Amino acid sequence: MAVVVVTSSNPGEGKTGVAAAIARHYAYLGREVRLARLEGDGDSSSADAACFAALPFAPGSPAAAVPASSLSDPSGAILVVEAGLAAAGAIAGATVVLVSRNHTPDSLPAGLAPVAVVVTDAPGVRGSSTLTADGAPPTVAVGEDRTLAGFAVSEARRALNADVLVPGDAGDPTCDYLVVAPIASDAGQPYFRRFDTKAVVVRFDRTDMHLAAMKAEPACLILTGGRRPSDYLFDAATAQGVPVLLSRTDTENTVIALERVFDHTRFTGERKLDRMAELLEGTALFDALAL
């Protein structure tokens, strides 16, 4: 059994995405993989474990966070474990990958010898790059990325305490762009089409703009003003499977609340996994793992 532990000093630094991308890399090479989330880090542990259990390339991954003592030998498979820093040292003989956000750590954690350091949201980096220093593990820098920072519809709903008018058909899609509808509907559709995978924010009574947004295939439509829109919107959104949320506040305050979500969004969904895997492929990370 090969065990890889992905750890970081603090929650929210990107270890869930790195762990999932590592597992996917080896699964796509034909290796059998499992993912596990160790207990700790509050509510995020359960969400991370649920994310791992839903990945089709890692069947049998536990759907709940587990203690280190319960990890079992997956019969020759690669076991990728996400763990907080305090728990990471409890897994003897594991290969450790350290994740840090925004900066390269000044020193390595006591008692841990990571084979690589992944820095997420690295300033000044476009895409990914690999930095090395004599006697130090390679540092893989992943720059700020719009797809990785995108918020899920469920996160927008919680941030706004919004009502769900139309649930949509695509589960819980993520949105790379937050687009506020323009004033004129004739300019709306070309404007909306400039942005991929977007959430459109528009007043509840702008039916013309609702329909213009629908023709531009948004990931989500967020209405403001707290009142029920026209039935035309329900028909269009239901036909296209687009989720529609209703915020109880005005447009300005809705946008302010949603902008804060970008700083705290979680790793979730196929699009984020695809992007993280793309950024890590070809770096020194997998050479350092040498599994």
Quote the pLDDT of residue 138. Answer: 93
User: Which residues fall within 8 angstroms of residue 28, CB to CB, at 6 or more apart?
Assistant: 57
- How is the beta sheet containing 33-37 ordered, strand by strand? 33-37, 78-84, 2-8, 95-101, 116-122, 139-143, 128-131
Of the candidates 169, 190, 173, 172, the one whose C-alpha atom is nearest the C-alpha of residue 181 is 190
Q: Which CATH class is domain 2-147+266-289?
A: alpha beta
* Averaged pLDDT of the chain: 90
Q: Tell me the mean pLDDT in the region 220-240.
A: 95
Asked whether the domain spanning 151-261 has the same topology as the one spanning 2-147+266-289, the reply is no
Which architecture does CATH list for 151-261? 3-Layer(aba) Sandwich (3.40)
Ranges of each domain in the chain: 2-147+266-289, 151-261
Q: Which helix (H) or strand (E) is 35 found in, with range?
A: strand 33-37
Dump pLDDT digits (tens) for 47-86.
899 999 999 999 999 999 998 888 876 677 899 999 988 8
Q: Give the position of tokens 């059994």.
A: 1
pTM for this predicted structure: 0.90
Dump pLDDT digits (tens) for 261-279.
988 898 988 999 999 999 9
Quote the pLDDT of residue 41. Answer: 66
Dump pLDDT digits (tens) for 81-91.
999 888 887 78
Phi first, then psi: give them for residue 15, nearest 5 degrees.
Answer: -70, -30
Tokens of 102: 């925004």
